[in-house]
Amino acid sequence: MLILVSTFGLSQQAAHAAGAEDIKARGYLSVATEDDYNPFEFVENGKNTGYDNDLLALMRKKLGVDVKQQVMPWSGILPGVTTGKYDMALSAVLVTEERKKIFDFASPTCEAVTVYATKKGSPIKTADDLVGKVVGAETGSAMLTDLKSFNEELKKKHGGNGLKQIVEYQSYPEAYQDLGLGRVDAVANNRSA
């Protein structure tokens, strides 16, 4: 059984799953994580830390097999789990309708809302102000999916005019750097509560 543990839910997907017996036989569990989604996963003083890394430490104590952690960009985590490259992902995962088609989610641990970050002093004050603007989001993220849907809504509402461009980033630090440099007008991300 393949297990994906996340701060937003627990899911299973058996298409390419290694079973518990297979994992015990080889002696380790391979786990994919990321390190730039504070407070869930981040690096502090050169050490991976955060809520999900605390969960990983507990798993290491309880499982009875070695846990091999692979830290990577978000865009590779879910594909790596669904193809069987990793037995499990331990990362904050948003529950979406598309993901529900692949994964079964348990009860979420927090709620997330897609938000649009702008530079201080930006003239963008409402969602409609994003018409004609360049907006970035992380590749493979639920926020990118939301951004694409939002762009279609803008086009319907504004006679075919929507976002000027959607820019995809491997990680949010890159997106925020471009926001600071003025290469994008806003960044779609989420706020967890």
Shared domain check, 179 and 119: yes
Shared domain check, 29 and 101: yes
Cis peptide before 73 (omega within 30 of 0): no
Shared domain check, 130 and 77: no
Q: How far apart are CA 84 and CA 15, in angstroms?
A: 8
Shared domain check, 117 and 83: no
Shared domain check, 11 and 97: yes
Q: Which of 73, 105, 137 is the last residue of a domain?
A: 105
Please tell me whether the overall predicted TM-score, pTM, comes out greater than 0.75 for this model. no
Shared domain check, 98 and 142: no
What is the per-residue pLDDT for 193?
63
In terms of C-beta distances under 8 Å and separation of at least 24 residues, what long-range contacts does 49-56 make, across chains too? 51/7, 52/6, 52/7, 52/90, 52/91, 52/92, 53/90, 55/5, 55/90, 56/31, 56/90
pLDDT digit string, tens, across residues 6-42? 333 333 344 455 777 888 888 898 989 988 888 888 8
pLDDT at 56 over 70: yes
Q: Which CATH number do you get for residue 12?
A: 3.40.190.10
Shared domain check, 79 and 128: no
What is the per-residue pLDDT for 115?
87
Shared domain check, 99 and 70: yes
What is the per-residue pLDDT for 174?
93
Shared domain check, 98 and 35: yes
Q: Spell out the residues 6+ positions from residue 129 whose beta carbon is closer than 8 angstroms to its own.
A: 123
Q: Which of 51, 85, 105 is the last residue of a domain?
A: 105
Return mean pLDDT, the chain.
Answer: 83
Tell me the three-class secondary structure of 143-169, residue by residue. Answer: HHHHHHHHHHHHHHHCCCCCCCEEEEE
| Whether 98 contacts 145, CB under 8 Å | yes
Shared domain check, 62 and 116: no
pLDDT band at 105 (very low <50, low <70, confident <90, very high): low
Of 68 and 112, the structure prediction assigns the larger pLDDT to: 68
Which of 1-15, 85-99, 111-125 is predicted most confidently? 111-125
Residue 66 structural domain: 3-105
Shared domain check, 149 and 94: no
Domain count for the chain: 2
